[in-house]
Amino acid sequence: MLDLEKYLIQGNNRLEGEVKITGAKNSVLPILAATVISGEKSIISNIPNLKDVKVMTEILKTIGSKVKVEEHRMIIDTNGVNSIDLPEELVREMRSSIILMGALLTRFGEVNVSFPGGCEIGPRPIDLHLKALKQMGAEIKESHGFIHCKTEKLKGADIQLDYPSVGATENIMLAAVKAKGVTVIRNAAREPEIMDLEDYLNKSGAKIKGAGTSIITIEGVERLNGTNHKIIPDRIVAGTIMAGAVMTKGKIIIKDIITEHLQSTIAKLKETGANVIINGNSMMVIGPKNINAIEILQTLPFPGFPTDMQAQFMAMLSIGNGTSIINETVFENRFKHAEELSRMGANIKTFGKVSVVKGVKKLTGAKVYAKDLRGGAALVLAGLVAEGDTEIENIYHINRGYENLDETLRRLGAKISCI
């Protein structure tokens, strides 16, 4: 899907000021999916205004939910959900829609879904999701790009994940909340967004323990109720702003965050020479005069360094002092931004899952293309420090994960416009 809008950035401006962090994209999507299970009314607040949230809202409406959207809040009544067929064109737009599979299977015992779309960052197979659902008693047929799941009654199971996949962990949680018996997920993803989903489900009447650890136990219950829930702040948006402060030698106070979720990002920022001062649920980030290279930056599942911050750090290290090595262990094809940063004068060599970033004195404005969500954010950061003008095309991807990024940056002193 092409977006004709683009960003125009005049470089060499220091970022300074305060910013409040919006709700987490990776938290809101599974929680919106989870509202389907109860068939009742839920009120979800701190919802970010994002493309992906709009797509999920459309999917919910298409299958029969009533959704009232207010400023950063949604009232969702899923009583009228009457379809087990997820709309193909919307599912292909957004990978996270696969999370509705577990929710609809729980509610109706059946679901039809096409293979999901989203960012092109390499294969992200849903085999783990399907294998787990089979263990819980679902019959699964795949044909012509569609998946059909059916079950008489889901049963609790002991599930060992081969990899701590966030999506698979979430889908199993949604499938297990009303399953007969107890489900144990071993090697579960430990991301904060999983904890947020547990929090929402438990408020609705589920019995889940252990989110945030590698073993999650879910005791099936008869029914769930509607509830009120506030989404946690987006740690990736916060991390992106933090990187912007460091790159522009700026000074930014970031509010409404959970610092515990940002520890790996903070640790690596400190390695670059940044000064990070934490005060409760806010922090001040002061960029250093010179950015130190990071000897090795390796992406890992939480609590390791997030793959979703890799691109932004690559942009930052491209103007660092010395050579940094980045090892991307989570996704296979996640260095597409390297080529675009090189157009701006960065010195980056990639070899499979490893990137060698040799810091240069300066980047130069150029016409570049956002190939995925976080890569797009990295190009915005590079544009902020580049000499001259940078034009970023295909900002559709950026809007999928950042609410009005241009406005946020303008308030901090950047010269950026959406044209």
pLDDT digits (tens, 9 = 90+) for 280-324: 999 999 999 999 999 999 999 999 999 999 999 999 999 999 999
If asked whether residues 250 and 310 sit together in one domain, one would say yes
If asked whether residues 347 and 199 sit together in one domain, one would say no
**Residue 396 covered by a domain:** yes
If asked whether residues 66 and 18 sit together in one domain, one would say no
If asked whether residues 62 and 81 sit together in one domain, one would say yes
pLDDT digits (tens, 9 = 90+) for 222-248: 999 999 999 999 999 999 999 999 999
- Rounded Cα distance between 370 and 44, Å, is 31
Which of 174, 200, 230 lies at the terminal end of a domain, its last residue? 230
Q: Please give the pLDDT value at position 1.
A: 46
Q: What is the CATH number of the domain that holds 201?
A: 3.65.10.10
Number of folded domains that form the chain: 2
If asked whether residues 195 and 316 sit together in one domain, one would say no
If asked whether residues 165 and 311 sit together in one domain, one would say no
Q: Please give the pLDDT value at position 77.
A: 98
**Residue 1 covered by a domain:** no
- Identified catalytic residue from 119, 285, 366, 373: 119
- Rounded Cα distance between 279 and 290, Å, is 25
Q: Please give the pLDDT value at position 121.
A: 52
If asked whether residues 206 and 250 sit together in one domain, one would say no
If asked whether residues 187 and 317 sit together in one domain, one would say no
If asked whether residues 166 and 277 sit together in one domain, one would say no
Res. 42 pLDDT band, cuts 50 70 90: very high
Give the residue numbers spanning the domain of 218.
Answer: 25-230
Q: Please give the pLDDT value at position 192.
A: 98
Asked if the model's pLDDT at residue 97 lies above 90, the reply is: no
If asked whether residues 146 and 254 sit together in one domain, one would say no
* Contact of 14 with 245, CB cutoff 8 Å: no
Which of 230, 253, 287 lies at the terminal end of a domain, its last residue? 230
DSSP-derived letter for residue 400 is T
Please enumerate in sequence order all residues whose Cβ is within 8 A of that of 338, keeping only pairs 6 or more positions apart, or say none: 314, 346, 348, 350, 355
**Residue 219 covered by a domain:** yes
Structure-model confidence comparison of residues 90 and 353, the more confident one: 353
CB burial class (10 A; 0-12, 13-18, 19+) of residue 260? exposed
Q: Does residue 119 have an active-site annotation? A: yes
Q: What's the Cα-to-Cα distance from 286 to each of 180, 273, 335, rounded to whole Å?
A: 52, 9, 27
Which residue, 80, 24, 82, is CA-closest to 48? 24
Q: What are the residues facing 43 on neighbouring strands?
A: 75, 228
- State the pairing for strand pair 146-150/139-143: antiparallel
Which of 178, 208, 230 lies at the terminal end of a domain, its last residue? 230
Mean pLDDT computed over every residue of the chain: 95
If asked whether residues 180 and 168 sit together in one domain, one would say yes
Asked if the model's pLDDT at residue 10 lies above 50, the reply is: yes
pLDDT digits (tens, 9 = 90+) for 397-418: 999 999 999 999 999 999 999 9
Average pLDDT over residues 19-44: 97
pLDDT digits (tens, 9 = 90+) for 127-167: 899 999 999 999 999 888 788 999 999 999 999 999 999 99
Contacts of 363-368 with CB under 8 Å at 24 or more apart are 363/11, 363/318, 363/319, 363/387, 364/388, 365/9, 365/11, 365/389, 365/390, 365/391, 366/390, 366/391, 367/343, 367/391, 367/393, 368/340, 368/341, 368/343, 368/344, 368/392, 368/393
If asked whether residues 385 and 411 sit together in one domain, one would say yes
**Max Cα-Cα span within the chain:** 64
pLDDT digits (tens, 9 = 90+) for 101-111: 999 999 999 99
Q: Please give the pLDDT value at position 118.
A: 60
Average pLDDT over residues 188-200: 98
